Amino acid sequence: MKQINILVGGPKENLPQDFITRIQANPKAIWLGADYGAVRLAQLGCQMAAALGDFDSSTAEEVALVSRFSQTKLQRFKPEKDYTDTELILKRAYELYPDLDEVVIYGATGGRLDHLLANIFMATRPGLADLMPKVRLIDCQNTVTFYQPGSYTITKEADKKYLGFFLLTPVKALTLGKVKYPLQVVDFAYPVSLASNEFLDQTAHFAFESGMIAVIQSKD
């Protein structure tokens, strides 16, 4: 299975506690970095398959460092680009690795809410929707995965307690099974965060007929 890792520019306080260990323990892992995420990776001595950003908040030295650690030419964009850094680096990952199976994105939460919401809602952007089921956002308390209509069995992460279903769009015929608060074929006309559900066992089941759903496993 080909897994690609991306670090974008969110605050380091929101990264998983073992983030640096994860990098050091897997020197063959493939990494890409966006904006201040690329700076952090370079500072950790991590080779990147690609790096990009507007680097508005970075010094010339930081940009030069990123350039040295990027295996392909560093892409600098003007801040007024039409896509966010996260969207651009995700497209770049897919260009470089069209056979990728999973993309894990770190640094997508915390700090500015306009960024966080853009990172969640890129799931509904034309051109990205098909890639999103392969994307996993990970921070210190949450894992977010994205689903198009279908029937799914999901597995509990050992360190997580809560299970949230965030409906990014209107959703038809949502069924939640093997969870503390089950649902049976319910329609939702608006986006809504069905928070604080829980697994009853090691797996849970859900299904829906139209729309897009983000599943959030989280802990306090």
**Close Cβ partners of 180 (under 8 Å, ≥ 6 residues apart):** 197, 198, 199, 200
Instruction: Please return the burial class of 8, using the count of CB atoms within 10 Å of its CB with bins 0-12, 13-18 and 19+.
Output: buried
Would strands 171-177 and 183-188 be described as parallel, antiparallel, or unpaired? antiparallel
Which lies closer to a second copy via its Cβ, residue 42 or residue 213? 213
Length in residues, the chain: 220
Q: In this chain, which of 114, 158, 184, 201 binds a second copy, going by CB under 8 A?
A: 114
Q: Does 112 bind a second copy (CB under 8 A)?
A: yes
Which lies closer to a second copy via its Cβ, residue 83 or residue 152? 83
Which lies closer to a second copy via its Cβ, residue 13 or residue 201? 13
Q: In angstroms, what is the C-alpha Rg of the chain?
A: 18
Q: Does 145 bind a second copy (CB under 8 A)?
A: no
Q: Does 182 bind a second copy (CB under 8 A)?
A: no
Q: Does 15 bind a second copy (CB under 8 A)?
A: no
Number of chain positions touching a second copy (CB under 8 A) = 41
| Helix segments in the chain, DSSP class H | 19-25, 36-43, 60-69, 85-96, 113-121
Q: Does 184 bind a second copy (CB under 8 A)?
A: no
Q: Does 125 bind a second copy (CB under 8 A)?
A: yes
Q: In this chain, which of 130, 180, 202, 203 binds a second copy, going by CB under 8 A?
A: 180
Minimum distance from residue 190 beta carbon to a second copy (Å): 5
Contacts of a second copy in 57-96 (CB under 8 A): 57, 79-80, 84
- The H-or-E segment that residue 76 falls in is strand 75-76
